[in-house]
Structure 1
Amino acid sequence: MPKRISYQMTYDASLTDVAAMLAETDFRIAVCERQGAIRSDAEVTLEGEGKQVRIELVQPATGIPSFAQKFVGDEIHIVQEESWGSADRADVTVTIPGKPGDMTGSAVLVESGGTTTETVDLTVKVGIPLVGGKLEGLIAGLLLKALEKEEQVGQEWLARR
C-alpha cells in the first residue's frame, strides 16, 4: 500500500523571493550538498511564469538496512523533476532510475504576512512483493530528512539576501 507524506517548509520571505530561490541552480546544488550527495547536477529552465527543475544526485547507501541495500546497491541515484506551471504550484516526481517505484505529488507555496510556507505532498510507491511496504516506509523517512535539510538551506539562503 503506497505511503503518503506531507511536509511544510517555512520561510521568512515573500512568495516571490522563495519562488526565485527555487529557480536558482546554485540553491539546488547547495541542497544536494547538505543532503550528503556524492555527485549532483541541477538544471532550471524558465518557462513564462513557471519553470522546469531537474535534479540528479547520487548518495551513498550507507546506513540503509540490509533488506533494502540489495535493491539499491552501494549508491542511490535519485532524479527529482518539478514542473512549476506558476510561481506557486508544481507537480513533483522523484524516481530511482532502474528501480521499481516512484514518488509523485505536489509542492505548493502560500504567503501570509510576509512568511511563505512550501507544502510538499508525495505518495511513495514501490512495486516489490513482500518488502514493498518496508521500502516505502524507509524511502518516506529518508525523503522527510531530505526535506528538513532543504528547509535549513533555504532559511540560510534567504537570510543572506
Structure 2
Amino acid sequence: MRHSRELPYDAAPDEVFAMLADPAFREKVAAAQEVVSIEVSVTPAGSGFSLVSDQVQNTAGLPAIAKKIAGDTTRAVVREEWADATSGTIEITAPGKPTRAVGSLRLTPSAAGTTYVQELEVTVKVPLVAGKLEKLMVDNIDAGLTVEHAVGTAWLKGER
C-alpha cells in the first residue's frame, strides 16, 4: 500500500534538516508519541546523516487481529539515510514481524519555509488480512507524523 504525506514547516530547509538530525528532537517526538522506550543514534555521513531509531511501542488500542501479530508491545526500527539536506530514504521494520515500510524523504523550499515529504510503500505479509493490516500500519504512521509535526513546529519556535 502506498502512502504519501506532506508536512509544512515555517522554517528554512537547513533548520528543518538540523532538527531532523538532532537525537534530542527524535527523543522528544517519541515521548509525545508515548513510546515505551527509544534508542536513537545519528551518524554524520558527508553532507547528510544516518539515523537509527529503535523503539518499543505500546500496542494498546490496536484491533485484536493486529495485537495477535504484534503482542502487547512491538519493536519498530526506523532507519533514515539522508544523502544531503534535500533527500533521503527511510525504512521501518518490526524485527520478527511480517511488516515493512520503505520509501523516500524530501525537504523542499516553499513560500512558507519548507515542505517535508514522506512517500512510503507499506507491506504486511499475512495471508487474507494483509490489506487491513497495511491500512492499520499506514494509519499508525500517519498518526505518528501528525505528532512529529506538532513537536517539530514547536521545536522550530524554540520550544525544546
TM range, smaller chain: over 0.9
State whether structure 2 residue 22 is matched by structure 1 residue 24.
yes
Runs of 5+ consecutive residues of structure 1 not aligned to the other structure: none
Post-superposition, which runs of at least 4 consecutive aligned residues in structure 1 deviate over 2 A? none
**1:96-124 C-alpha deviation (Å, 9 max, x unpaired):** 11001200001100012351000101111
1:79 aligns with 2:74: no
Cα distance in 2 between the residues matched to 1:120 and 1:153: 17
Moved more, 109-118 or 129-138: 109-118
**2:35, 2:120 → 1: CA distance?**
21
> After superposition, what is the alpha-carbon deviation per residue over 1:39-63, rounded to whole angstroms, capped at 9, x for unaligned?
0111111111010011011111100
Instruction: Give the alignment partner of residue 124 of structure 2, picking from 103, 121, 126.
Output: 126
Higher mean C-alpha displacement, 107-116 vs 23-32? 107-116
- Percent of paired sites with the same residue: 36
- Distance in 2 between residues matched to 1:67 and 1:18, nearest whole Å: 37
Given the alignment, which residue of 50, 53, 57 partners 1:52? 50
Aligned partner (choices 139, 142, 157) of residue 141 of structure 1: 139
User: 1:154 Cα shift?
Assistant: 0.4
Q: 1:110 aligns to what?
A: 108
Match of residue 68 from structure 1: 66
1:154 aligned residue = 152
More divergent stretch after superposition (106-115 vs 5-14): 106-115
State the alpha-carbon separation in 2 of the partners of residues 135 and 88 from structure 1.
31
User: Taking structure 1 as reference, are residues 112 and 85 closer, same or farther at Cα in structure 2, changes over 3 Å only?
Assistant: same
The unaligned stretches of length 5 or more in structure 2 are: none
Between 1:99-108 and 1:110-119, the stretch displaced more is 110-119
* Higher alpha-carbon deviation: 112-121 or 6-15: 112-121
CA RMSD of aligned residues (A): 1.0
Tell me the TM-score normalised to structure 2 length. Answer: 0.96
Structure 2 residue 9 is the aligned partner of structure 1 residue 11: yes
In structure 1, the residue corresponding to 2:14 is in which secondary structure? helix
SS of match in other structure, 1:98: coil
Q: Which amino acid aligns with 1:66?
A: A
TM-score (norm 1): 0.96
Q: How many residues end up aligned between the 2 structures? A: 159
**What's the CA shift string for 1:71-99, capped at 9, x where partnerless?**
00000110000000111101100001100
For 1:29 and 1:36, locate their aligned partners in 2 and report how far apart those are by CA, in whole Å: 10
